[in-house]
């Protein structure tokens, strides 16, 4: 299977994205955040850049995430995603091409996350802001998209069922908003040989 830039561009622009997840709280009272999903070419095709949050952070300590953070007053969602990626991991905005926005993802901690899919077209020189980011990973889509790595549970919350997704990659367990965003992107793109998945 060839998870190439050409495949990504052809699928991303022609496939309608899945609907955004229903918020667990009133989104009118939620805090807005933006994240960047940076993709770059690697030995196995496209690789997704993931980070590990520092263990002392108040929200989601130690979890696998995307570079990102709060949207400041007067700032656009896209600008916030690029700014946070530069601050957290040293990704130069001039080396990034934004492909488009993915559906927003509400969290149980009162945030609505606005994800931006992007391509990195220059070799990155990572500089981690260690107060926020403990580690960084290049995860091949060829591995992340494998069905056997995924699990789905139904979570009962306030009388409603919410699917919760878990993704096992190397020694990491990816879950929460990160897994939910990845699951919808996986649904939207499909794979080079199939556009349907059981999860």
126-183: per-residue pLDDT in tens?
Answer: 999 999 999 999 999 999 999 999 999 987 766 777 789 999 999 999 999 999 999 9
Residue 84 domain flag: yes
Residue-level pLDDT at 90: 97
Label residue 67 by pLDDT band (50, 70, 90). Answer: very high
Residue 107 in any domain: the answer is: yes
Q: What is the pLDDT of residue 26?
A: 47
In a domain, residue 96? The reply is yes
pLDDT at 195 over 50: no
Instruction: Tell me the pTM.
Output: 0.87
Tell me the C-alpha to C-alpha distance, in Å, between residue 152 and each of 73, 80, 144, 167, 174.
36, 30, 15, 9, 12
Q: Is the pLDDT of residue 186 over 60?
A: yes
Q: What is the mean pLDDT of residues 45-52?
A: 97
Identify the CATH number of the domain in which residue 106 sits.
3.90.79.10
- The pLDDT mean for the chain works out to 87
Number of domains present in the structure of the chain? 1
Which is more confidently placed, 115 or 28? 115
Assess if residue 67 is contained within a domain. yes
Residue 112 lies in a domain: yes
Q: Please report whether residue 105 resides in a domain.
A: yes
Residue 81 maps to a domain? yes
pLDDT of residue 110: 82
Residue 196: its pLDDT value, please? Answer: 46
* Separation of alpha carbons 169 and 165, rounded Å: 13
Domain range for 47 is: 5-22+30-141
Asked whether residue 44 is domain-assigned, the answer is yes
- Please state whether beta strands 31-42 and 111-120 pair in parallel, antiparallel, or not at all (unpaired): parallel
Residue-level pLDDT at 47: 97
């Amino acid at each position: 299977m060839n998870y190439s830039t050409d495949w990504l561009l052809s699928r991303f622009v022609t496939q309608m994205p899945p609907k955004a997840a229903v918020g667990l709280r009133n989104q009118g009272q939620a805090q807005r955040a933006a994240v960047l999903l940076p993709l770059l070419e690697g030995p196995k095709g496209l690789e997704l850049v993931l980070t590990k949050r520092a263990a002392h952070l108040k929200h989601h300590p130690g979890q696998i995430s995307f570079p990102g953070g709060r949207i400041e007053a007067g700032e656009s969602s896209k600008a916030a995603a690029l700014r946070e990626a530069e601050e957290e991991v040293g990704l130069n905005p001039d080396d990034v091409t934004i492909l488009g926005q993915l559906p927003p993802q509400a969290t149980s901690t009162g945030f609505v996350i606005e994800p931006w899919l992007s391509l990195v077209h220059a070799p990155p020189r990572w500089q981690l802001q260690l107060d926020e980011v403990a580690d960084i990973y290049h995860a091949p889509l060829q591995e992340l998209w494998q069905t056997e790595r995924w699990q789905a549970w139904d979570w009962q919350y306030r009388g409603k069922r919410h699917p919760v997704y878990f993704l096992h990659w190397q020694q990491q367990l990816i879950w929460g908003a990160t897994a939910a965003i990845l699951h919808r992107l996986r649904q939207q793109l499909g794979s080079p040989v199939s556009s349907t998945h059981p999860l």
